[in-house]
A = this chain, B = another copy of it.
Amino acid sequence: MWTDGPLCYGGDYNPEQWPAQVWSEDVALMRQAGVNLVTVGVFAWSRLEPAPGRYTFDWLDQVLDLLHGGGVRVALATPTASPPPWFSLAHPGALPVTADGIRLHHGSRDTYCAATPAYRDAALRITTALADRYAHHPALAGWHVHNEYGTTCHCEHTARAFRRWLTTRHGDLAALNDAWVTSFWSQHYSDWAQISTPRATQYLPNPGHLLDFRRFWSDTLLAAYTEQRDLLRAANPALTITTNYVLGDWVPVDHARWATEVDLVAVDHYPSAVDGGAEEQTALAADLARGWARHAAHRRPGSPPAGGAAAWLLMESAPNQIHTAGRMHTKEPGRMLRHSLAHVARGSHGAMFFQWRAPVGGAERFHSALVPHAGPDSRVFRETVALGAALRQLSEVRGSVEAAVALVVDAASGWALRHPGLPSALPDYHDELAAAHRALWRSGYACDTLTPGDPVDGYRLLVLPALYLIDDDAAEWLRGYVDGGGHLLVTYLSGVADEHARVRLGGYPGALRELLGAYAEEFHPLDAADQVRLDDGGTGRIWAETLRLTGADTVVSYTGGVLDAMPAVTRHRVGAGTAWYVSTRLDDTSYRRLLDTAARAAGVTTVCPDAPEGVEAVRRRDGAASWLFLLNHTDHEQRVPASGVDLLTATPIERAVTLAPGGVAVLREHKG
């Protein structure tokens, strides 16, 4: 397992973009930078198999030997994310089709439908050829299957596969009709053949139909992964096999479910915010990745890998750019290192990048790289070398993050909240999740993420931001947690619907009404420009509700308007625990204050109470040993009371560590 050795450092290496004479320089520069792992061949299909069944492996032989000679391990990719032009010409029916019925063409990447047999067959053939030749190559650390599974399709192959999947899920049409509430708008299906994918239609689509299509497609992509994995596993059971997740609320993949099928959760992270937002997004992405790894570890038989149950890997990030809307923001000096260590602080077993060397052409010619267009005599490459050194200095770090707070997260709730016909188009699942996470992050709480049903031992506070779909098992899981003394904070739009996105009747949130001791009789979606005032001086946006109490106390009330003096935030003591409900989207300050109150009430403390605002503190612990990561996100020097040894400078710290603007320290803490 990649997490058994030193921290991974490297990224995508695409030698096929360069003449052979560059390869030696590449390996020399990699050694200079301390690169120890590269993903090779992600988009090399047309180079590896220039014509159907004709393989050209000599160049790859040479590259792997060179890398091996240079001490660089290889995650060999299956190149199936980008079939060659000959494939598309031979199999036009395997090109993807949009919801409008428009067939996309070759000319980019990912121009295939993952449900089409011709594609799946071709993908397995090239995978087999690679496995046959390289499964025991000494350079190989493992397999990097495909790349960023995430495209979708509406072709006839997909429709047929969808129907097959539906028969498995629902058993019979009566169950499907019931789950989808096809009694609305005369949509009762009397034959499986009547069901298509949710293609463009006249007006609003059916929510159950949409939701099952997302689930089906996640499973379809997963099947495309697992059949490659099984084949590669059979070729050499000793190798790590995974695929790199692409994050984003548009991705039709249930990452938690997939986590149980990969040997290592590997994520690509590209923040979209430029200022502090990039750091918040980094922390959330890393906490999600660790949560998926932990979720899988609980479900996987056998002992955890040496890197820890929740080890994961940042598989791709951009060395020197933040891809924000409409432009690429160049990272400030030192930010590459700070972002990388923020991931390591949260459990990533290293830092990997896309890509090694900036290409002269292709669609992503301006995507940043460790070796930029300007060459190695550049700030970027000097920071590349410095990051390699820093990661080597952190080689002792192990264990996972300590957290007593967790966010409960569910991909399907995010999908369901994107459906048309909700009372408002403003609520955004990812935004709700980010708001809760940001409030905790700014206060300095360590935070895990859970999938409903995960073990809750050790957590003092669970937060449910807009967990729209709650099935009976999840409701019972939450009830048990609170009964057992847990603290739970639920926000609006949670528990409104069951697993089929059917509204639970009798007052929202139907699934949690009793637990909360309160229910909403009416929603009051707000205009984007509006806010409601609260009696503690705070404000709410996006949403409000007419709450009726059945046991809960009012913590905060609305003030003014039609909801004047009615409860906005409630608290209900149940068994040994407490259940909070928040019926509006609190402003950031109020949200932070409320979560701080709830956390303190639950007995939770922050990681580093003395850290000044703007300094992020994360602790990894392995038994008695612990390491404190301190990241200064401000542009001025900061002093943080702490003691231990700063691994990056190998300096003992007695009372406090001084962080340069944008600087980082990683302290091995004194035991006991």
Is A234 part of the contact surface with B, judged by Cβ < 8 Å?
Answer: no
Residues of A530-571 contacting chain B, CB below 8 A: 546, 562
Which one of A189, A359, A522 has the greatest number of beta carbons of chain B within 10 Å?
A522
Distance (whole angstroms) from the CB of A593 to the closest CB of chain B: 27
Contact A96 B363, CB 8 Å, known A101-B103, A186-B82, A188-B46: no
Is A614 part of the contact surface with B, judged by Cβ < 8 Å?
Answer: no
Is A191 part of the contact surface with B, judged by Cβ < 8 Å?
Answer: yes
Which one of A274, A360, A500, A524 has the greatest number of beta carbons of chain B within 10 Å?
A360
Mark each residue of chain A from 59 to 80: 1 if its CB lies under 8 Å from any CB of chain B, else 0.
0000000000000000000010
Is A28 part of the contact surface with B, judged by Cβ < 8 Å?
Answer: no
Residues of A48-105 contacting chain B, CB below 8 A: 50-51, 79, 82-86, 88-89, 96, 100-105
Contact B105 A200 (CB under 8 A): yes
Contact A89 B193, CB 8 Å, known A363-B204, A527-B274: yes
Contact A184 B374, CB 8 Å, known A109-B202, A423-B327: no
Distance (whole angstroms) from the CB of A341 to the closest CB of chain B: 20
Contact A505 B373 (CB under 8 A): yes
In the complex, what residue of chain B is closest to A525 when comparing beta carbons?
B327
Contact B425 A186 (CB under 8 A): no
In the complex, what distance in Å separates the CA atom of A546 from the CA atom of B204? 47
Residue of B51, B106, B202, B423 near A366 (CB, 8 A) is: B423
Q: Which segment of A253-261, A329-337, A403-411, A576-584 sits at the interface?
A: A329-337
Contact A84 B186, CB 8 Å, known A104-B199, A108-B201, A326-B424: yes
Q: How large is the interface on A (under 10, 10 to 19, 20 to 34, 35 or more residues)?
A: 35 or more
Contact B365 A508 (CB under 8 A): no
Is A180 part of the contact surface with B, judged by Cβ < 8 Å?
Answer: yes
Interface secondary structure of A, over-half rule: loop
Contact B329 A363 (CB under 8 A): no
Q: Which segment of A375-383, A429-437, A484-492, A622-630 sits at the interface?
A: A375-383
Contact A374 B519, CB 8 Å, known A102-B200, A190-B85, A365-B421: yes
Is A507 part of the contact surface with B, judged by Cβ < 8 Å?
Answer: yes
Chain B residues within 8 Å of A425, by CB? 326-327
In the complex, what distance in Å separates the CA atom of A109 from the CA atom of B188? 12
In the complex, what distance in Å separates the CA atom of A523 from the CA atom of B363? 17
Contact A96 B205, CB 8 Å, known A83-B186, A190-B86: no
In the complex, what residue of chain B is closest to A501 when comparing beta carbons?
B361
Number of copies: 3
Distance (whole angstroms) from the CB of A391 to the closest CB of chain B: 23
In the complex, what distance in Å separates the CA atom of A463 from the CA atom of B185? 41
Chain B residues within 8 Å of A189, by CB? 85
Is A209 part of the contact surface with B, judged by Cβ < 8 Å?
Answer: yes
Chain B residues within 8 Å of A84, by CB? 186-188, 190
Contact A374 B521, CB 8 Å, known A108-B205, A190-B84: yes
In the complex, what residue of chain B is closest to A359 when comparing beta carbons?
B184
Chain B residues within 8 Å of A43, by CB? 184-186
Residues of A201-234 contacting chain B, CB below 8 A: 201-209
Contact A181 B424, CB 8 Å, known A186-B82, A206-B107: no
Is A640 part of the contact surface with B, judged by Cβ < 8 Å?
Answer: no
* Apart from the given pairs A204-B364, A329-B525, A330-B562, 20 other A-B contacts in the complex at a CB distance below 8 Å: A17-B184, A43-B186, A47-B186, A47-B188, A79-B186, A84-B188, A84-B190, A85-B189, A100-B102, A101-B102, A105-B199, A108-B205, A181-B360, A184-B365, A185-B362, A204-B363, A327-B527, A360-B503, A363-B421, A372-B521
